[in-house]
Amino acid sequence: MDVRVQMSMVFHLDKCIGCHTCSLACKNIWTDRKGTEYMWWNNVETKPGTGYPTGWEDQEKYHGGWELKDGKLGLRSTSKTQTVFNIFHNPNQPSMDDYYEPWTYDYQNLFNAPEGSDQPTAVPLSMVTGDLIQIKAGPNWDDDMGGSPVYAESDPNLAALNPDQKAQMFAIERLMFFYLPRICNHCLNPSCVASCPSGALHKRGEDGIVLVDQKRCRGWRACIAACPYKKMYYNWQTGKSEKCVLCYPRLETGQAPACFHSCVGRIRYLGVILYDADRIHEVASLPEDQLIEGQRSLILDPRDPVVIAGARQNGIHDAVVEAACKSPTYRFVKDWKMALPLHAEFRTLPMLFYVPPMAPVMAHKSETALENNSEDLFADIEEARAPIEYLASMFGTKHTGKVRYALRKQKAVRWYRRAITVGDVDMPTAERMLREADCTPAEAEAIYRLTSLCSFEERFVIPPMHREQAIEMLEDPLEHKQGVGFGFMDGPRRGL
């Protein structure tokens, strides 16, 4: 057993209101520089929808992530041989057209336009060339476009549905959508790291954050094709790749990452987990239907004396183990099994987990009151507007079991709390639901508390980062605002 630490996240999709505050908080801190305008290290997508970059989930198009070839784990398009031969031109690298061309507006014209009979306008200007452009796409161009034949119907996950289910999803008055906020998953088996020809991409041993060493990066771009989540971005100005850094300078000073901190719906949870690094390869090579269970089994119990001894042996500070015991991620993923990885079939072992969304609630058979006298108390999960197969395509490697379990538990907790606070559900029914959802009253209370009443300290359990022992102690991350962005002390001036 090789015990390591991973900073791990949970996004509770049932709480996301799609306000994009997270995206803007991130952009203001990290990607307000030339060459990064098009990057959204944090973005919020509407599902069903095509996402950003367009259709990123479709690996038949982008060829990212890992796959099993004859039982052997290998990168889909960025193996060493492929990378060497594709180094001059990578056929699987998305171009700016797959994202969007960033633009600003000619605001100066509003002040400087000569006097005339028309109101002056601010025309859109490309942030790459400075030319007048026609805006054709943006980072959340399909925002709220559930039901749209252009966007929603092109969602790669719809392939998992039969024609009836698909028709149901797009029927008038049954349209549905939900939001999917995405950041780097800081995977345990990152394909970007494995593909990097320069060895610039690496995982920090101390907290598992995946970073690009900007000085070592040579712009070979294999990572961009390799990341199946398309969370590696190419800075066209500096000729280097960049990615979400999980606001590590903030974490090192005990603050939550900007997107977590600013989250209006309080959907985000952050905490360390301990995992067994010796089993990464074994778990990533499991058959598809065992991947999620395998990934859960990688996560170790921080209260287990054997694990604690292993952690000490690897130089993990006791304070970190203590933080792992309080980790909300551990509770959602391991204790309650409500949070699931996004597209585990990419085999990168993502460390960002999602609680699948319950919404929207179905209108019930009875017009005036909620029906709860059905023998199957969870009927509306099966009959929900979002077919469970659709959610399973994202969160269950196309197997519905884990998603159903998470949704049933959410519903049982709701009804249990409803029995206590509203009283229109009788307690025996609520308790029967808890039993059927594999939950106890105590667990339901804990889930309720961490979902609804969670304080800042409960949502973000950040261990002391021991900055006194860490690198870059004397560097001020704000010194080069709009200049460097992150990493080092001299300006990121482009080479000739």
When asked if residue 129 is in the footprint of another protein (CB under 8 A), the reply is yes
When asked if residue 234 is in the footprint of another protein (CB under 8 A), the reply is yes
Report helix, strand or coil for 294.
Answer: helix
How many residues of this chain bind another protein (CB under 8 A)? 56
Cβ–Cβ under 8 Å, residues 295 and 343: no
Report helix, strand or coil for 257.
Answer: coil
When asked if residue 89 is in the footprint of another protein (CB under 8 A), the reply is yes
Measured CA to CA, the distance from residue 259 to residue 266 in angstroms comes to 10
When asked if residue 205 is in the footprint of another protein (CB under 8 A), the reply is yes
When asked if residue 149 is in the footprint of another protein (CB under 8 A), the reply is no
When asked if residue 295 is in the footprint of another protein (CB under 8 A), the reply is no
Burial of 99 (0-12, 13-18, 19+ CB in 10 A): buried
Q: State the nearest-atom distance from the C-beta of 88 to another protein, in Å.
A: 4
Measured CA to CA, the distance from residue 142 to residue 55 in angstroms comes to 11
Q: Which of 36, 5, 445 is nearest to 234 (CA)?
A: 36
Helices (H), 339-495: 379-382, 388-395, 400-421, 427-436, 441-452, 456-459
- Please select the residue that binds another protein; options are 470, 476, 481, 483, rule is CB under 8 A: 470
When asked if residue 421 is in the footprint of another protein (CB under 8 A), the reply is no
Which stretch, 204-212, 302-310, 401-409, 445-453, contacts another protein (CB under 8 A)? 204-212
Cβ–Cβ under 8 Å, residues 398 and 392: yes
- Please select the residue that binds another protein; options are 186, 203, 399, 408, rule is CB under 8 A: 203
When asked if residue 196 is in the footprint of another protein (CB under 8 A), the reply is yes
Tell me the per-residue interface mask from 95 to 114 with another protein, x by CB under 8 A, - otherwise: xxx-----------------
Tell me the per-residue interface mask from 267 to 286 with another protein, x by CB under 8 A, - otherwise: -------------x------
Task: Indicate the helix (H) or strand (E) that contains 234.
Answer: strand 232-235
- Please select the residue that binds another protein; options are 42, 77, 238, 400, rule is CB under 8 A: 238
Tokens representing residue 65 in the block? 């992530």
Cβ–Cβ under 8 Å, residues 392 and 382: no
Q: State the nearest-atom distance from the C-beta of 346 to another protein, in Å.
A: 15
When asked if residue 204 is in the footprint of another protein (CB under 8 A), the reply is yes
Report helix, strand or coil for 228.
Answer: coil
Report helix, strand or coil for 222.
Answer: helix
When asked if residue 312 is in the footprint of another protein (CB under 8 A), the reply is no
Q: State the nearest-atom distance from the C-beta of 79 to another protein, in Å.
A: 10
Q: Which residues of the shown chain bind another protein in the complex (CB under 8 A)?
A: 80, 83-84, 87-91, 93, 95-97, 128-129, 131, 189-190, 193-194, 196-199, 201-206, 214-215, 217-221, 224, 234, 236-240, 280, 315, 466, 469-471, 488, 490, 492-496
